[in-house]
Chains A and B, each alone.
Chain A
Amino acid sequence: MRRILIIDDEEDIREVAALSLEATAGWEIVTASSGADGILAAGNSKPVPDAILMDVMMPEMDGPTTFRMMQQNPELAGIPVILLTAKVQGVDQRRFADLGVAAVLFKPFNPLTLADQICEKLGWKD
């Protein structure tokens, strides 16, 4: 069974996204409410998550900063990170593409197809 870590400062979005992935794909979900907590959760999770779904705009440490910190940690650097963001403008998209994340998905997401989209972006054939 796949394990996904969701990092988002909005509790409602964490809950809806977790429910959506559990109900449609049957994945096991871990959540964290900030970038710092996310890094801890990813490190403490045994085994490490198969993928991380992360918000961009978060207080203190935003998504891109969190991603860069994870890249410096050899244990976490290999985990594919998908940004899930409400920033849909062209300039933002180009900025995300330059970061080197595995994919960018946009909010509001469709709860019935979110798992499919993740599989497609990561080349998972579940």
Chain B
Amino acid sequence: MSFSLTIFSGLFLTCICLLGVLALRLARKVRQQERDLGGLSQTLERSREHAEEQKHRLAERSDLDRAKDEFISTVSHELRTPLTSIRGALGLLSSGLLGNVDARAHNLLRIASTNTERLIRLINDILDLERMESGRSPVNLRRCSLVDLSREAVEMMSALAEAAQIRLEMNSYAAHDAIYFDADPDRILQVLTNLLSNAIKFSPEGSTVSLEIDANTDALSLKVIDRGRGIPVDKLESIFDRFQQVESTDSSKKGGTGLGLAICRSIIQQHGGLIWAQPNESWGQPDHNGAPTNPGTTFCVQFCRSARIGDTASPREIAPLAERGEGLILVCDDDPGIRTVVREQLRRHGYDVIEAGSGEEVIALANEQTMRNAPSPAISAILLDHYLPGLNGWETLRQLKSSATTAAIPVVILSVSSPSERPLLVGEAQGWVQKPYNESLLLDELGRVLKSKAGTVKDPKHNLRTSRLTA
């Protein structure tokens, strides 16, 4: 009896001890969890502060943008007002409407008038370029025919060509249904007339300036070929910079502003295209009379295009498209031109778009949008460029994926690199589109990522497809 009592009390004591140990462990675990929770709430607090800070920085930047806008607008107005009086007075005096002036005085008036006109063009060009480079000049994309636009440009330049005794010719080697692409017709006309007027100005009397068009399914190319004095190889690139001309006296002699090609490049970049200059292919060949020819220059422009069945230029309205998407897409690229093109393409397909110019902005916007709409993520997907100033694409992606708030948002990389060049990114991203991209493949990839969003993609590597322009 006492033996069993001893056993019983022993067991009882053991139980108590075990319970005590359990209680102690439990207490420790609770404390540990409390600490963890504390840490978590600290992390959350930090990320909230971080988001606040980013928001603050964004607000500061848009204030700065507004101030810059206002400044440019005011300067432009203040310069135009005195120029109005000067242009008016000189124009009336040199017209002879108010009585004749002697020849020397007339020559001086002509000089003053010409230079006033040049100053006005310069102000217009500076304003134009500033608006484009700050991304505040909207591109109104619609389906255009490059042949029609070229014909229009040639017609507009025919008077200038005639006065300079230059023959203008236009040839299209493109298939009749391959000449259509998405563009802002006014802007493209601006580029074409600028290239043609340059070619006319720098060509010798009696020569020919040709405009050539060619196309395949993915790309459209345009060449403006002159038989002028040619551009030294080391200046072929720099002529696209502001105020860079082959000879410093060109702007005064030829009446240009030194900004024309910079504007052309800006416009072409806004369209996601390329523009460059090269010596003519028939460089140095004697002409059919055996006389040596000028080297001459070819200005080349290339646009991406996506072929469509039964393609045609659209009038003012936008052609309806088969598959429409929905949802809010955050587009991040540091190049405002690319953002504009992507935005317009996505919007036409039914998506809403917000834009970010940097990785920091992406994180701030993703956090802000998600917190505002919790628990469902407000952003359907993020299109992320890889090369970004500050936080690069990879770092941005890592931050998005490691934050509980933004981890669920699928990310599609939009990069000039191929997935095989960036294996680390592949592991974290849900999709990939390689630049220069093609509109339909971008939309396909985005559609695929959005569809597979519900069932989370385990290994995106197997789902990655590459969209690449083969031109």
Do A and B originate from a single complex?
A: yes
Q: Which residues of A contact B (CB under 8 A)?
A: 10, 12-13, 16-17, 19-20, 23-24, 57, 86-90, 92, 107-112
Q: Given A23-B98, A88-B127, A108-B83, A57–B88 Cβ distance below 8 Å?
A: no
Q: Tell me how far the C-beta of A96 lies from the nearest C-beta in chain B, rounded to whole angstroms.
A: 14
Given the complex, which residues of B lie within 8 Å of A111, measured CB to CB?
87-89, 91-92, 95
Give bound CA distance, A21 to B261, whole Å. 37
Bits for B87-101, please: 1 = Cβ < 8 Å to A, else 0.
Answer: 111011001011000
For this complex, 12 residue pairs linking A to B, each with C-beta atoms less than 8 Å apart, are A10-B81, A16-B85, A16-B88, A20-B92, A57-B77, A90-B137, A92-B73, A107-B80, A108-B116, A111-B88, A111-B92, A112-B95
| CB of B84 within 8 Å of the partner chain | yes
Q: Given A19-B92, A23-B92, A108–B80 Cβ distance below 8 Å?
A: yes
A89-B73, A90-B137, A108-B80 known; 11 new pairs, CB 8 Å cut-off, are A16-B92, A19-B88, A88-B76, A107-B81, A108-B83, A108-B86, A108-B120, A111-B88, A111-B89, A111-B91, A111-B95
Given the complex, which residues of B lie within 8 Å of A109, measured CB to CB?
84, 87-88
Give bound CA distance, A88 to B89, whole Å. 21
CB-based contact A23/B84 at 8 Å: no
CB-based contact A86/B80 at 8 Å: yes
Give bound CA distance, A113 to B122, whole Å. 21
Given the complex, which residues of A lie within 8 Å of B92, measured CB to CB?
16, 19-20, 23, 111-112
Interface residue tally for chain B (C-beta within 8 Å): 25
Given the complex, which residues of B lie within 8 Å of A107, measured CB to CB?
80-81, 83-84
Q: Given A23-B97, A24-B97, A88-B127, A108–B77 Cβ distance below 8 Å?
A: no
Given the complex, which residues of A lie within 8 Å of B81, measured CB to CB?
10, 13, 86, 107
Given the complex, which residues of B lie within 8 Å of A24, measured CB to CB?
97
Given the complex, which residues of A lie within 8 Å of B87, measured CB to CB?
108-111
Q: Tell me how far the C-beta of A54 lies from the nearest C-beta in chain B, rounded to whole angstroms.
A: 14
Closest to A18 in B: B88
Given the complex, which residues of A lie within 8 Å of B77, measured CB to CB?
57, 86-87
Give bound CA distance, A56 to B81, whole Å. 11
CB-based contact B84/A86 at 8 Å: yes
Q: Top 3 A-B pairs ranked by shortest CB distance?
A: A16-B88, A86-B80, A12-B85
CB-based contact A13/B91 at 8 Å: no
Closest to B93 in A: A111
Give bound CA distance, A10 to B82, whole Å. 9
Give bound CA distance, A17 to B84, whole Å. 9
Give bound CA distance, A77 to B271, whole Å. 45
CB-based contact B88/A17 at 8 Å: yes
Q: Tell me how far the C-beta of A81 lies from the nearest C-beta in chain B, rounded to whole angstroms.
A: 19
Given the complex, which residues of A lie within 8 Å of B138, measured CB to CB?
90
CB-based contact B80/A16 at 8 Å: no
CB-based contact A13/B97 at 8 Å: no
Give bound CA distance, A62 to B92, whole Å. 28
B:49-97 near A, CB below 8 Å: 73, 76-77, 80-89, 91-92, 95, 97
Q: Which of B84, B86, B137 has most chain A Cβ within 10 Å? A: B84
Q: Tell me how far the C-beta of B133 lies from the nearest C-beta in chain A, rounded to whole angstroms.
A: 15
Given the complex, which residues of A lie within 8 Å of B83, measured CB to CB?
107-108
Given the complex, which residues of B lie within 8 Å of A57, measured CB to CB?
77
Give bound CA distance, A92 to B137, whole Å. 13
Q: Tell me how far the C-beta of A9 lies from the nearest C-beta in chain B, rounded to whole angstroms.
A: 10
Give bound CA distance, A107 to B77, whole Å. 9
Bits for B257-287, please: 1 = Cβ < 8 Å to A, else 0.
Answer: 0000000000000000000000000000000
Give bound CA distance, A108 to B85, whole Å. 8
Q: Given A19-B92, A57-B77, A13–B84 Cβ distance below 8 Å?
A: yes
CB-based contact B84/A16 at 8 Å: yes
Given the complex, which residues of B lie within 8 Å of A23, measured CB to CB?
92, 97-98
Give bound CA distance, A108 to B127, whole Å. 15
Given the complex, which residues of A lie within 8 Å of B73, measured CB to CB?
87, 89, 92
CB-based contact B98/A13 at 8 Å: no
Given the complex, which residues of B lie within 8 Å of A108, measured CB to CB?
80, 83-84, 86-88, 116, 120
Given the complex, which residues of B lie within 8 Å of A112, measured CB to CB?
91-92, 95, 97
Bits for B192-215, please: 1 = Cβ < 8 Å to A, else 0.
Answer: 000000000000000000000000
Q: Tell me how far the C-beta of A94 lies from the nearest C-beta in chain B, rounded to whole angstroms.
A: 11
CB-based contact A13/B88 at 8 Å: yes
Closest to B83 in A: A108
Q: Tell me how far the C-beta of B459 lies from the nearest C-beta in chain A, rounded to whole angstroms.
A: 48
Give bound CA distance, A20 to B84, whole Å. 12
Give bound CA distance, A110 to B117, whole Å. 10
Q: Tell me how far the C-beta of B346 lies from the nearest C-beta in chain A, rounded to whole angstroms.
A: 23
Given the complex, which residues of A lie within 8 Å of B89, measured CB to CB?
12, 16, 111
Given the complex, which residues of A lie within 8 Å of B88, measured CB to CB?
13, 16-17, 19-20, 108-109, 111
Given the complex, which residues of A lie within 8 Å of B76, measured CB to CB?
86, 88-89
Q: Tell me how far the C-beta of B75 lies from the nearest C-beta in chain A, rounded to whole angstroms.
A: 11
